[in-house]
Homo-oligomer: A and B are copies of this chain.
Amino acid sequence: MRSEIERLVELDRGHVLVTRIASVLSWDQETYMPVKGIEERAEQLAFLEGLAHEKLTNPEIGSLLHALGSTKANPLGHDSLSPDERAYLRVLRRAYDRETCLPIDLVKDTARTIALSQGAWVEARSKNDFAAFAPWLEKMLSLSRSKAACIDPDKPAYDVLLDLYEPGSTEADIARVFVDLRAELVKLLGKINSKPQVDDAFLHQECPAGRQAAVSRWLMDLLGLDKDRARLDVTAHPFTSTLGSDDVRITTRYVGDFLPSSVFSTIHETGHALYELGIDSPAPFRRSKLSEAASMAMHESQSRLWENMIGRSAGFWKPNLAKLHSLAGPILDGVTLDSFVRAINRVEPSLIRTEADEVTYSLHVILRFEIESDLVSGRLAVKDLPGAWNAKMVELLGVEPPDDSRGCLQDIHWAIGYIGYFPSYALGNLYAAQLWDRLRETLPNAAASLERGDVAGVREWLREKIHRPGSTWLPGELIERATGKDLEAKHFVAYLNEKYARVYGF
């Protein structure tokens, strides 16, 4: 059976290779491609998507999985296989089954549409022109519904889409978690609102892009992102992309009058990149699907843990604020550690998800969850999206977007077909808080190390517990192995309450 596994890995690597070639093209499209390159780039990506589909649906993969005893009912295959081999068969069976039900025309049409739709989104967002983007969203929704119908015609389309990003999750499950979370967040917001607002005026002073870039480069170094295996660029919407096992790219954006935007998006994406670069499968499975992250929510737990639990803590900034000051310049003149930490943790309902504080952030996610579920089901028409978005912003956050660029056009996700993805962000917060609690139990010196400027212990703990295994464990298994417990929301709620009691003094 060894040789059958080896052949499977060989076929799988051929597929992974094509997807990474496509990642190079997508990354280039968002960073450097001249605008008129878009049409031919869309053709190039559609071709690669078709080729990837062909490689993943190669009937030889089906035969080999079958020969190794892996079926839909028992994806792990024969008992005599090693645990790694069985995990690998599970991962590959899932990918193979999901892809074989998609017609090639749908796959190519989707790839082509994504490339064009993304360009349309960038332009619509910059011109505040929702009408120009609407037909693309319509098309993406229609393609997503078709995809869901191919994968499982018996389930509601949105459940099928959710499962793509977080295996096993359903709209009902997530709605249940979100109801509780929303209640807790509202309670906490109430307490915060009863206290005087934190002053963060100094953070809204102008800080030139050049200085912010120096800060971002320093932060990547500080957190231990290997410059020989990663790099930083600038895009409209920050992201992380894996172009190779030793080539992970992150991006950020520089908002002239709000330094924290780049600081925390760089830390966030660095968290994603550390996960990707930390995956270390046994040699026979390198560059296979076992070397991919466990889930989108698990990925988000890593970015959020670095961004919030660490990056917005007093302990982290105690040894680092002086250096930040020297790089960021005059805007931090005379700012104390205490006022800095309070300012970067200021809670205030606002318009932009990626710049929201930790308390209101999950409300942005809940809004997107409710809206995308309505869009997929058809309960909400695309033309009514701006109105629905703005109404819900008022309802959940008490603020109304003055334009669609800062409203329903702010995120890239729907434009590139990531429908059902948003809930992963909130689940990621829950994973992150639970991991953070466990990490500090296991490493009682973690806090002291951070205050000395040493993040290696934290990084290595995460690498060992979460990064290294890649997809060896399902997300639920992984959190259980790392923390001894199933996922629970209480860690996140407790973390927020404890932290904001300190920040706002209640």
Interface residues of A (CB under 8 A from B): 14, 17-18, 20-21, 24-25, 28, 32-37, 39-41, 43-44, 47-48, 226-231, 233, 243-247, 287
Q: Return chain B residues, CB-CB under 8 Å to A246.
A: 34, 36-37, 39-40
Q: Return chain B residues, CB-CB under 8 Å to A17.
A: 43-44, 47
The answer to whether A34 touches B228, judged by C-beta atoms less than 8 angstroms apart, is yes
Which of A36, A244, A245, A247 has the largest number of chain B CB atoms within 10 A?
A247
What is the bound-complex CA distance between A39 and B25, given in angstroms?
Answer: 18
Closest to A245 in B: B40
Question: Taking A20-B40, A28-B24 as contacts, is the C-beta distance between A34 and B227 under 8 angstroms?
Answer: yes
Of B44, B229, B243, which contacts A21 at CB under 8 A? B44
Closest to A227 in B: B34
Which of A25, A227, A246 has the largest number of chain B CB atoms within 10 A?
A246
Q: Return chain B residues, CB-CB under 8 Å to A247.
A: 33-34, 36-37, 40-41
The answer to whether B244 touches A40, judged by C-beta atoms less than 8 angstroms apart, is yes
The answer to whether A36 touches B229, judged by C-beta atoms less than 8 angstroms apart, is yes
Question: Given A34-B231, A36-B228, A40-B245, 18 more contacts at CB 8 Å?
Answer: A17-B44, A20-B44, A21-B44, A21-B47, A24-B24, A24-B25, A32-B233, A33-B247, A34-B227, A34-B246, A36-B226, A36-B246, A36-B247, A37-B229, A37-B246, A40-B244, A40-B247, A44-B244
The 4 A-B residue pairs whose C-beta atoms are closest, nearest first, are A37-B247, A40-B244, A36-B246, A36-B228
What is the bound-complex CA distance between A25 and B24, given in angstroms?
Answer: 7
The answer to whether A34 touches B230, judged by C-beta atoms less than 8 angstroms apart, is yes
Which of A14, A18, A21 has the largest number of chain B CB atoms within 10 A?
A21
The contact sample of 20 A-B pairs, CB cut-off 8 A, is A17-B44, A17-B47, A18-B47, A21-B44, A21-B47, A24-B24, A24-B28, A32-B231, A33-B247, A34-B227, A34-B229, A36-B228, A36-B229, A36-B246, A36-B247, A37-B229, A37-B243, A40-B247, A40-B287, A44-B244
Question: Taking A28-B28, A246-B40 as contacts, is the C-beta distance between A21 and B48 under 8 angstroms?
Answer: yes
What is the distance, in angstroms, from A46's C-beta to the closest C-beta of chain B?
10
Question: Taking A21-B21, A21-B25, A47-B17 as contacts, is the C-beta distance between A41 and B244 under 8 angstroms?
Answer: yes
Q: Return chain B residues, CB-CB under 8 Å to A229.
A: 34, 36-37
Closest to A246 in B: B36
Closest to A35 in B: B228
Q: Return chain B residues, CB-CB under 8 Å to A24.
A: 24-25, 28, 44
What is the distance, in angstroms, from A251's C-beta to the closest C-beta of chain B?
12
Closest to A20 in B: B44
What is the bound-complex CA distance between A287 and B247, given in angstroms?
Answer: 31
What is the bound-complex CA distance between A47 and B40, given in angstroms?
Answer: 21
What is the distance, in angstroms, from A40's C-beta to the closest C-beta of chain B?
4
What is the bound-complex CA distance between A479 and B247, given in angstroms?
Answer: 46
What is the bound-complex CA distance between A287 and B44, given in angstroms?
Answer: 12
What is the bound-complex CA distance between A40 and B247, given in angstroms?
Answer: 9
Q: Return chain B residues, CB-CB under 8 Å to A245.
A: 40
What is the distance, in angstroms, from A190's C-beta to the closest C-beta of chain B?
47
What is the bound-complex CA distance between A468 and B413, given in angstroms?
Answer: 41
What is the distance, in angstroms, from A247's C-beta to the closest C-beta of chain B?
3
Closest to A25 in B: B24
What is the distance, in angstroms, from A348's C-beta to the closest C-beta of chain B?
37
Question: Taking A28-B24, A32-B231, A43-B17 as contacts, is the C-beta distance between A244 and B48 under 8 angstroms?
Answer: no
What is the bound-complex CA distance between A181 and B226, given in angstroms?
Answer: 52
What is the distance, in angstroms, from A403's C-beta to the closest C-beta of chain B?
26
What is the distance, in angstroms, from A24's C-beta to the closest C-beta of chain B?
6
Q: Return chain B residues, CB-CB under 8 Å to A244.
A: 37, 40-41, 44
Q: Return chain B residues, CB-CB under 8 Å to A47.
A: 14, 17-18, 21
Closest to A248 in B: B34
What is the bound-complex CA distance between A18 and B28, given in angstroms?
Answer: 16
Which of A20, A28, A43 has the largest number of chain B CB atoms within 10 A?
A28
What is the distance, in angstroms, from A127's C-beta to the closest C-beta of chain B?
16
What is the bound-complex CA distance between A43 and B14, given in angstroms?
Answer: 10
Closest to A27 in B: B28
Q: Return chain B residues, CB-CB under 8 Å to A28.
A: 24, 28
What is the distance, in angstroms, from A228's C-beta to the closest C-beta of chain B?
5
What is the distance, in angstroms, from A289's C-beta to the closest C-beta of chain B?
16
